[in-house]
Chains A and B, each alone.
Chain A
């Protein structure tokens, strides 16, 4: 096949059997470097604690080496926390990349569109009124919380899309409506915290800042299952994103059923964000910042999905590491991501004032 085609500069092919694609070395390199860093940071994070374990021993334990005590500490006690952070970060990174791609707007992310906020509100309602001891144990916590978060996020997404829809969606209006819906969600959350029992309110407050504290395998499983289903779905659907980036009319002329396609991918992003929120609370800014940084690292014209998932995981686990070690008090991870991410949001808003499209 290769011999007959005329080379198009900048698009070297990779072909095997029926598969074909463009070889993009920078994308692959950046992604692999991200995976390497992620493994390293995850190992350091697992190693930190009352019984410090070296990076080498952590990695050894993960692949079945090391002594039994070490393996127990690594696999049973510490891995779930880091793994939850990793999976949640990956889900948020990918959700953000998809949201920004389908809205063609670098400011669009599940957090800014109110999806994460509404998912949080629904989850707080479950914690406050639902299940006795709330987040940490109970069937309701494991099943009810993700479902409530998903429903809350879905409601917000429908509201935002519906209110912003006027013969097609203009992305500026989408973000403005999203900010409004988010404000309502935050207000309802505050009200819930005021009327809830004091203990549950405290629990909900910690959860609301996005915390990886006390995660066990029960927190890992739902988000792992969700990712296993949603990441391949998202990647398969992402095939149409190149056409969609050229505008709704051109995409439609290229054979994409624009509205249906956007809703399908939007649901994938929404579910990823809601499941992540249910597992670790609304960890802010990861979904907003990571896809934009990845796009700059990789080059190209759209946020890369897989790379965003890898760096989302890297940012979340790194933030957890910083929260646990570099600061005097052990802080929830969401505070660190907010401190790192907020300046970037300001930077994006500042750029907009210099004439860059919102």
Chain B
């Protein structure tokens, strides 16, 4: 949807010796990372490992203490805000829609970076919003208010908004939080289609390791603000890594459906039985 020329399989987002923190606390230090065009990356790690902090920095919501975030080779903090918003879409962890806002109005707000005060509903806007609604299956809900929808539907609406924004890159911070399993799968299927049908580059923070392994081609495992492992789900999700990163004793088997690695936690209760096998 944007006209930006981009190199195939080029680096879209890069961090160089990135240091991030809040107040006096440094959460991440010296982090280097490349995100390639057209890939789906999931960032995993225990609570407080800095994964959401990293995503905020990639989204330009958190300024770097040292080092840089580069978007298409250019320092993101020197990029005009509106230009970033045309290339990079962000779905925060728990986005809030004001009461009384309709689905169509919310999705239309994704068009903000393409609008001006005198041009708030152009033919392009209308078309992009109609497409985004149809693509996420939310057309029939267009005139409902967001607060009357279920959690899963709401998340579809937010993704629809990000879609209407028409950005090549989409950053999602735990898009499946608070959803039941069926809706988690539903939302991630949608993300997968975004990638497959529309060639979007996706970086998302995910809690569920099995879903991350299924929907991402690349996993980045973090602990204490450091990248501990980075690669394909098969390379990253090993029993040893789960022990070092999550302090979790687990077996990793093949997902019978997708063939991707699947984590089976052992837990204290079954520790002795698992050891016997």
Query: Are A and B physically bound partners?
Result: yes
A56: Cβ under 8 A from any B Cβ: no
Q: Chain B's nearest CB lies how many Å from the CB of A18?
A: 6
The CA-CA distance from A250 to B146 in the complex, in Å, is: 16
The CA-CA distance from A250 to B106 in the complex, in Å, is: 11
Q: Which residue of B lies closest to A245 (CB)?
A: B98
A68: Cβ under 8 A from any B Cβ: no
B148: Cβ under 8 A from any A Cβ: no
Asked if B131 and A6 sit within 8 Å, CB to CB, the answer is: yes
- A contact residues around B88 at 8 Å (CB): 253
Known A255-B82, A255-B84: A250·B122 in contact at CB below 8 Å:
no
B183: Cβ under 8 A from any A Cβ: no
Asked if A255 and B121 sit within 8 Å, CB to CB, the answer is: no
Candidates B85, B86, B123, B142; contact of A4 at CB < 8 Å: B123
Q: Which residue of A lies closest to B158 (CB)?
A: A250
> Could you mark each residue 294-307 of chain A with 1 if its beta carbon is under 8 Å from any beta carbon of chain B, else 0?
01000111100000
Known A6-B126, A6-B127: A21·B120 in contact at CB below 8 Å:
yes
Q: Which residue of B lies closest to A296 (CB)?
A: B100
Q: Interface stretch among A197-205, A234-242, A311-319? A: A234-242
Centre residue among A5, A237, A295 by max chain B CB count within 10 A:
A5
Asked if A247 and B100 sit within 8 Å, CB to CB, the answer is: no
> Could you mark each residue 1-38 of chain A with 1 if its beta carbon is under 8 Å from any beta carbon of chain B, else 0?
11011111111011100111110000000000000000
A246: Cβ under 8 A from any B Cβ: yes
Asked if B126 and A11 sit within 8 Å, CB to CB, the answer is: yes
Candidates A6, A22, A235, A257; contact of B121 at CB < 8 Å: A22
Candidates A7, A20, A245; contact of B120 at CB < 8 Å: A20
Asked if A255 and B129 sit within 8 Å, CB to CB, the answer is: no
Known A239-B116, A253-B92, A302-B98: A8·B108 in contact at CB below 8 Å:
yes
A133: Cβ under 8 A from any B Cβ: no
- B contact residues around A240 at 8 Å (CB): 112
Asked if B61 and A249 sit within 8 Å, CB to CB, the answer is: yes
Q: Which residue of B lies closest to A356 (CB)?
A: B99
Known A1-B123, A20-B122, A246-B97: A8·B104 in contact at CB below 8 Å:
yes
The CA-CA distance from A249 to B88 in the complex, in Å, is: 13
- A contact residues around B108 at 8 Å (CB): 8, 11, 22
- B contact residues around A1 at 8 Å (CB): 122-123
Candidates B83, B89, B126, B131; contact of A253 at CB < 8 Å: B89
- B contact residues around A20 at 8 Å (CB): 118-123, 125
The CA-CA distance from A104 to B86 in the complex, in Å, is: 25
A354: Cβ under 8 A from any B Cβ: no
Centre residue among A238, A245, A301 by max chain B CB count within 10 A:
A301
Centre residue among A2, A4, A11, A256 by max chain B CB count within 10 A:
A11
B181: Cβ under 8 A from any A Cβ: no
Q: Chain B's nearest CB lies how many Å from the CB of A356?
A: 9
Asked if A256 and B130 sit within 8 Å, CB to CB, the answer is: no
- B contact residues around A6 at 8 Å (CB): 126-127, 130-131, 134
Q: Chain A's nearest CB lies how many Å from the CB of B33?
A: 20
B81: Cβ under 8 A from any A Cβ: yes
Known A22-B121, A255-B82: A5·B127 in contact at CB below 8 Å:
yes
Asked if B102 and A18 sit within 8 Å, CB to CB, the answer is: no
Q: Chain B's nearest CB lies how many Å from the CB of A251?
A: 8
Asked if B98 and A8 sit within 8 Å, CB to CB, the answer is: no
The CA-CA distance from A256 to B85 in the complex, in Å, is: 9
Asked if A249 and B123 sit within 8 Å, CB to CB, the answer is: no
Q: Chain B's nearest CB lies how many Å from the CB of A252?
A: 6
The CA-CA distance from A217 to B143 in the complex, in Å, is: 48
A183: Cβ under 8 A from any B Cβ: no
- A contact residues around B131 at 8 Å (CB): 6
- B contact residues around A254 at 8 Å (CB): 85, 109-110, 112-113, 165
A169: Cβ under 8 A from any B Cβ: no
Q: Chain B's nearest CB lies how many Å from the CB of A172?
A: 14
The CA-CA distance from A238 to B82 in the complex, in Å, is: 16
Q: Which residue of A lies closest to B167 (CB)?
A: A253
- B contact residues around A246 at 8 Å (CB): 95-98, 106, 109
Asked if A257 and B102 sit within 8 Å, CB to CB, the answer is: no
Closest 4 CB pairs of A and B: A255-B85, A253-B90, A6-B130, A301-B101
Q: List 14 A-B contacts (CB under 8 A).
A: A1-B123, A7-B130, A8-B133, A8-B142, A9-B143, A235-B117, A239-B116, A243-B109, A245-B101, A249-B95, A250-B90, A250-B92, A253-B85, A301-B105
